[in-house]
């Protein structure tokens, strides 16, 4: 095990939690692939001896999402673009509903280099199962990506220009954190 047993708290001061969106459609060049950071969130990671009884609980404020980068667009994102994106996420995508994750199972790989996590993700007023693979560094570094299909949570992916520019239904949620090494 590369993470010290015990109860560990994570948040923006000790980890990053990002959402990455990708564009599609005939007018996709008019938009941007986005890197959005969750700026208000907290997680409690409880690690038991040999992972027995280990859990992860996460709560995130849906109104804390900040656009950090707009990639591959024709022109750079303006402050107005960033504000419009934030407003659309709040009113049309997540609708101000809390974002939560509660693990049901944590299963370390035999070599201790990764951890399979499954549980329930709640967002936009719906809850559903997700699974992800986390890499575990010998220094306590934990990193992983979970692909989330928005429509599975009743979210209609954002579109503009009469549907010619769309956000792809799948988005990536990226976690990078440091926990005390065991």
Task: Give counts: helices (H), strands (E), the chain.
Answer: 1, 14
d(CA 10, CA 119): 18
d(CA 4, CA 140): 8
Beginning with the edge strand found earlier in the chain, give each strand of the sheet holding 141-149 in spatial order: 6-10, 41-47, 55-60, 99-108, 114-123, 126-136, 141-149, 170-178, 15-21, 33-38, 65-71
Nearest to 176, CA basis, from 148, 134, 118, 122: 134
**Structural domains present in the chain:** 6-178 (2.40.128.110)
- The single-letter DSSP state of residue 161 is G
Read off the tokens for 32.
Answer: 């941007």
Q: What is the pLDDT of residues 101-160, one digit of tens each?
A: 999 988 888 887 899 999 999 999 999 999 999 998 888 889 999 999 999 999 988 777
The model's pTM is 0.89
Q: What is the pLDDT of residues 36-91, one digit of tens each?
A: 999 999 999 998 888 888 999 999 999 999 999 988 888 888 999 899 888 988 88
């Amino acid at each position: 095990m590369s993470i010290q047993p015990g109860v560990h708290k994570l948040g923006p001061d000790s980890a990053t939690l990002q959402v990455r969106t990708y564009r599609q459609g005939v007018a996709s060049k008019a938009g941007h692939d986005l890197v959005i950071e969750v700026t208000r969130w907290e997680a409690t990671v409880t690690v038991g001896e040999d992972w027995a009884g280990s859990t992860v609980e996460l709560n995130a404020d849906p109104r804390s999402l900040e656009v950090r980068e707009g990639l591959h667009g024709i022109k750079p994102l303006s402050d107005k673009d960033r504000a419009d994106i934030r407003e659309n996420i709040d009113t049309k995508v997540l609708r101000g509903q809390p974002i939560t994750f509660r693990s049901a199972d944590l299963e370390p790989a035999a070599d201790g280099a990764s951890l399979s996590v499954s549980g329930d993700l709640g967002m936009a007023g719906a809850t559903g199962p997700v699974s992800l693979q986390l890499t575990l560094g010998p220094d306590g570094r934990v990193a992983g990506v979970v692909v989330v299909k928005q429509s599975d949570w009743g979210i209609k992916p954002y579109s503009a220009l009469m549907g010619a520019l769309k956000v792809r239904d799948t988005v990536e949620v990226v976690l990078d954190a440091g926990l005390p090494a065991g």
